[in-house]
Each structure stands twice: as C-alpha cells, then as structure tokens.
Amino acid sequence: MKIERVVAHPLAARAPKPVSFAIGDYSTFYATLVEVTTDDGLTGVGECIARKAPQVTAAVVDELLAPLLLGRDPRDIAGLWEQMFAQLRRWGHSRGFVLEAMSGVDTALWDLLARGAGEPLYRSLRGAGRDPVACYASKVYLTDIKRMATEAAAMTRRGFRAIKVQIGRTEALGGLRADVESVRAIRESVGPEVAIMLDANGAYDAATAIRLGRQLEPFDITWLEEPVPPDDISGYALVRRGQAVPLAAGESEFGVFGFRDLIERRAVDVLQPEIGRIGGFTAALRLGALAYAYNLRIAPHTGFSAGVAHLATLHLAAAVPNFMTYEYMLPELLSADGYTENPLRDIFTAPFPEPREGALDLPQGPGLGLEVDWKRVGAFEV
C-alpha cells in the first residue's frame, strides 16, 4: 500500500450573520480539508485549522508535505509525522501553518488506517474506548446581558448540564463590570447545578484577569479559558496563583512542545488541544500521555472549525486519558441580530451526532464514521 495522491481543499463560507466575541466579529468560516488516497483506492480525510486565508495552509500541504508523502506507506504514521516536522523545524518553522497543515494530513492518515481496518477511528487509536462522550454546549456569545441569560437557560432546557459563555468585553461594551454582571445573571438563570465555563479569548492582562477571577469565585465557575493572550505564559502562571477559578488553555498551541511550558510551569488546569492545529492525532495522543503524567484534565477544543475537525475531535475525546468534556458547538449560534450558523460544520452525507442528556454517541462506521458530501463542500471551495 502506497500513498498515490494528496489533495488540499481550501474552504470559505460566509455566515448569515456575524458572531461577536472578545477578538471581534467573526463573519466568515474557513478550513482546509485534506484527502490522502492510496494506490488501492482507499482515501482518508483530515482538516487543517484555518482562521484566515485557507489557501496558505493548502499551499503548505501541496508544496511541502505532499512531495514527502507520495509513494510512502501510509501506515507509518508516526514516522511520516516526524519527517514532515523535521523538514523545517531547525529552520524555525516548528509552529504555525506548518503544524496546521500537518494536522490535516495526520488526521487523514489515521482516518485511512481505520477505514482499512474496517473499524471506527477511536478503536484504531487503542485508547479508552469511551462511548458515549460527555459534552458541553458552546456557547453563549456576547450580546445584551438579559438575552445571554435567556440563551443559557434555553440550553439547559435542551438537556445540557454544562455550558460555555463568552466574556472579554471591550470598555465600550462595559468591560470587566459587564462581564461579571453577565455571569451573575447567567448563574441565576441556570441555577446552581449547571457547570459554567467562561471564554475570554485572551482579552485581559494578568492583573485584570486576577481581579475578574476573584469576583467570579462566588459563582462556582468550572474554568476560565484563555484569560490572557496565548503567548503570555508568565501571565497564565500569575493568574492561576492569584485567584481560585481553574484555568483552561491550549486551542492556540502547536504540538507537544507548545504545551510543554504551560504544563511544566503549572500555568493551567485544563488542556484544550485543537486537533486541526496541534499536529493531528499523533501529537494529540502524545499530549494525552503527558497530561496523564502531570494529572491534568483534557477538554478538546472544536470552535469555529469545519465538521471534519469536530468529528475527529469526538474520536480523540473517546480515546484520550484524563478526558474531561467535549466542546459541542451548537448548529445555531447566537449573534447580535439573531441566530446564525457555521455552514462548514454539517458537510456530511448523514447528520452530525446530536447530544442526548449531555453526551454524544460515537459514529460506528469505519474511520471518522461519516462520509464527506463533496458536492456540498464544492460550493465552499476557494
């Protein structure tokens, strides 16, 4: 069995209405899908995260990674990962677009391997075999406080016992005071039994985040996600030691090395790898072993990725040790003007799994378990 073809598909899909969060308004969803096909006709699919310009990631796949992969045995996944990584590591490219492109290729290789074995991908990972997988609803976006509280209560009526809430308002939107008031209103709305996770997307400096955390302590917050920018490791360490709310981070990190400093400095409590950025399943499984050694929890991130990454993350959640919860992105997203959606999430020939009583069943088909609808995807291809 040899790799015969590697194809990248850069995608862009405009949302009906923009979603507002701490970084700003998000109006277009991006992704790069990767197909790896062998000489016996077997094909695996993966996804590279792309927040802007998916053509860049596609170019890395086409020009840098594909030439190394062609003619190779796809079952040598770890060896191929190391060789892809080694090409530019000592030239200073051990993060960024290279790792994001590798993530899509690696996921496609694992999908291909599981398809060849005729089993669900999470079984091929030989991990925990967790089915169903606990999940939380993501998320309540920034809008007026009353509406956010109403939205949170509606999520609990749908059976979710854990929800994520956006904070990180600018001063023009009320800043820290409004963030605290929105959390207060949501806690009153959902009651004491529902877990509340908060996501700031790096909106604060360390001192402000500490002030925030201390004011949030009475509301029993499950975690405060990305309170400071992702490259401010010292800031994370200060915040973790300066207040009592557990910290979560990792969606912006690349590879095991990217998580190493967060872990060694005990800067966070919950690790949130993004399958389309960390380096695919190969890197994510290595992180799982490291997290186990440090007794840290793992809550894989999905966010604004396309459906392939969401599905791959579900398989990772079923396999990784020290798993905490999976981020289930609601098909409908709350915007300032009403509800909108991520057009790139439901790109399969069958529906994406839906939660029941706060948990998701794993699809039992071979590989990722769902087939990509390439006709639907074609409408978004750049």
What CATH number is attached to the domain comprising 265? 3.20.20.120
How high is the pLDDT of residue 73?
Answer: 98
Best CA proximity match to 302, nearest among 289, 292, 315, 291:
315
Residues 203 and 315 in one domain: yes
Torsion of CA 319, 324, 325, 327, to 10 degrees: -90
Domain extent, residue 220, equals 124-360
What's the whole-model pTM score?
0.96
307-361 confidence digits (pLDDT tens): 999 999 999 999 999 999 999 999 887 666 677 789 999 999 999 999 998 999 9
* Whether the Cβ atoms of residue 97 and residue 104 lie closer than 8 Å to each other: no
Domain-embedded: residue 113: yes
144 and 61 belong to one structural domain: no
Q: Is the pLDDT of residue 284 over 70?
A: yes
Q: Please indicate, yes or no, whether residues 22 and 168 belong to a single structural domain of this protein.
A: no
Residues 83 and 194 in one domain: no
Question: Are 245 and 345 within one domain?
Answer: yes
Same domain, 252 and 319: yes
Q: What are the start-end ranges of the H helices in the chain?
A: 54-60, 66-69, 77-89, 96-117, 121-124, 145-157, 175-190, 206-216, 233-242, 255-264, 275-278, 280-293, 307-319, 374-378
Averaged pLDDT for residues 156-161: 95
- Concatenating the DSSP letter of every residue in 287-328 gives HHHHHHHTT-EE--B-TT--HHHHHHHHHHHHH-TTB--EEE
Q: What is the 3-state secondary structure (H, E, C) of 55-123?
A: HHHHHHHHHHHHHHHCCCCCCCHHHHHHHHHHHHHCCCCCCHHHHHHHHHHHHHHHHHHHHHHCCEHHH
Residues forming a β-bridge with 10: 32
User: Residues of the chain with pLDDT > 90: what percent?
Assistant: 91
Q: Is 301 annotated as catalytic?
A: yes
Whether residue 379 has pLDDT greater than 70? yes
Same domain for 130 and 114, yes or no, is no
Mind listing the pLDDT tens digit for each residue in 48-61? 999 999 999 999 99
Q: Is residue 368 part of a domain?
A: no
- For residue 177, the SS3 value is helix
CB 276 within 8 A of CB 253: no
**Cα separation of 44 and 5, whole Å?**
11
Note whether 269 and 319 are same-domain residues.
yes
Residues 99 and 129 in one domain: no
Q: Could you give the number of structural domains in the chain?
A: 2
Residue in 9, 301, 310, 315 annotated catalytic: 301
Q: Contact, 309 vs 32, CB < 8 A?
A: no
d(CA 6, CA 4): 7
pLDDT at site 336 = 64
Looking at residues 10-34, what average pLDDT do you find?
A: 87
Q: Are residues 255 and 108 in the same domain?
A: no
Among the listed residues 236, 319, 309, the one whose alpha carbon sits nearest the alpha carbon of residue 278 = 309
- pLDDT at residue 158 in the model: 92
